[in-house]
């Protein structure tokens, strides 16, 4: 009788297994597009914590935040987009390197405010500096853009005016207008002379990501599907651009059409932004043949 009980218990143990062991989830590839900009080390760690984060989503933490968890990371990403809209150019591009510390609090009926200390990298010049920032996600039925306060004097020391002026004059006086596709291509490759326009696409996309970001989203740039220079009679270079954004929480690739201008004195100005309808054919890897 005792032997029979032992056998039954052993069988049950083999069937149920360990409810907390999910090795396949830990190693899953979460990239939804082959050209997505590489996430930071912290973002990669985040996606390996799906179970913990799902529980964390239920109630937003207040007070001191875990720098590696979604609430702090999402707010910090908004700061990255904000810096790109303010200071980004073909030769200056900002990326979140690490969240150092963060706090969150509910502010009466106005929304939810985050105080952050983050490390930001100016990617092209490869310089890093710490940024103090405040992000307010407004509350209400109608979605409104996050309000951001941040400065990055340390990251603006490298002077890019000469490079920008050279690029501007080249494409201002060209007889033929620029047209390019798939930046980067499906192998992650970009021709050197097209890299400034990939950077311009990222800066322009930051206007969209800043406008669309909430406490429940985490956007990353995936690709400039195409960019076309338009004729203009003023001093701005003008571009029509189709970009692909990776929303890393839902794993969706979202298509946007942008009309924007750029010049060294004025920077990037987005004139129009339109989200394109979802298209399954658009999800396929771009054909570079």
> Distance (Å, rounded) from C-alpha 7 to C-alpha 3?
6
On whether the CB atoms of residues 242 and 225 are closer than 8 A, the answer is yes
**Adjacency order of strands within the sheet including 111-122:** 63-64, 94-107, 111-122, 127-138, 147-150
Q: In angstroms, what CA-CA distances link 213 with 46, 145, 218, 230?
A: 18, 7, 7, 29
| Each residue's pLDDT tens digit, 216-259 | 999 999 999 999 999 998 999 999 999 999 999 899 999 999 99
- Give the 3-state secondary structure of residue 5: helix
- pLDDT in the model for residue 151: 84
Asked if 225 and 240 touch (Cβ cutoff 8 Å), the reply is: no
pLDDT score of 28: 28
The arrangement of secondary structure in 32-283, i.e. its CATH architecture, is Roll (3.10)
Angle at 243 between CA 272 and CA 35, to 5 degrees: 165
Dihedral sign for Cα 17, 20, 26, 28, please.
positive
CA atoms of 256 and 285, how far apart (whole Å): 17
The pLDDT of residue 8:
36
74 contacts 145 by C-beta, under 8 angstroms: no
- Rg for the chain (alpha carbons), in Å? 23
104 neighbors 65 (Cβ within 8 angstroms): yes
Domain ranges of the chain: 32-283
Q: Which residues contact 218 (CB under 8 A, 6 or more apart)?
A: 43, 70, 73, 74, 77, 247, 248, 249
- Distance between CA 215 and CA 72 in Å, rounded? 9
CA-CA-CA-CA dihedral for 117, 254, 223, 260, to nearest 10 = -80
10-residue mean pLDDT series, the chain (289 residues): 40 35 30 45 42 44 89 96 97 96 91 96 94 93 87 87 96 93 94 97 98 94 96 94 95 96 97 85 42
């Amino acid at each position: 009788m005792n032997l029979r009980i032992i056998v039954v218990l052993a069988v049950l143990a083999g069937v149920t297994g360990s409810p907390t062991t999910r090795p396949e989830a830990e190693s899953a590839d979460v990239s939804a597009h082959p050209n997505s900009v590489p996430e930071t080390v912290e973002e990669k760690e985040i996606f390996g914590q799906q179970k913990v984060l799902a529980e964390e989503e239920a109630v937003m933490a207040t007070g001191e935040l875990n720098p590696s968890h979604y609430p702090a990371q999402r707010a910090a990403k908004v700061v990255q987009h904000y810096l790109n809209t303010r200071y980004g150019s073909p030769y200056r591009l900002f990326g979140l390197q690490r969240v150092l510390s963060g706090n969150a609090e509910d502010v009466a009926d106005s929304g939810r405010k985050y105080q952050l200390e983050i490390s930001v990298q100016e990617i092209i010049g490869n310089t890093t500096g710490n940024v103090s920032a405040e992000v307010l996600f407004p509350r209400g039925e109608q979605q409104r853009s996050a309000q951001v306060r941040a400065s990055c004097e340390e990251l603006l020391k490298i002077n890019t005016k000469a490079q920008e002026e050279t690029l501007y004059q080249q494409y201002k006086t060209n007889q033929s207008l620029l047209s390019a596709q798939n930046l980067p291509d499906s192998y992650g490759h970009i021709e050197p002379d097209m890299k400034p326009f990939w950077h311009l696409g990222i800066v322009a996309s930051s206007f969209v990501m800043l406008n669309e970001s909430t406490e429940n989203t985490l956007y990353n740039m995936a690709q400039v599907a195409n960019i076309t220079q338009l004729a203009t009679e003023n001093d701005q270079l003008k571009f029509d651009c189709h970009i692909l954004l990776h929303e890393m929480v839902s794993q969706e690739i979202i298509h946007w059409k942008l009309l924007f201008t750029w010049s060294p004195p004025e920077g990037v100005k987005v004139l129009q932004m339109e989200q394109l309808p979802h298209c399954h054919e658009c999800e396929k890897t771009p054909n570079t043949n």
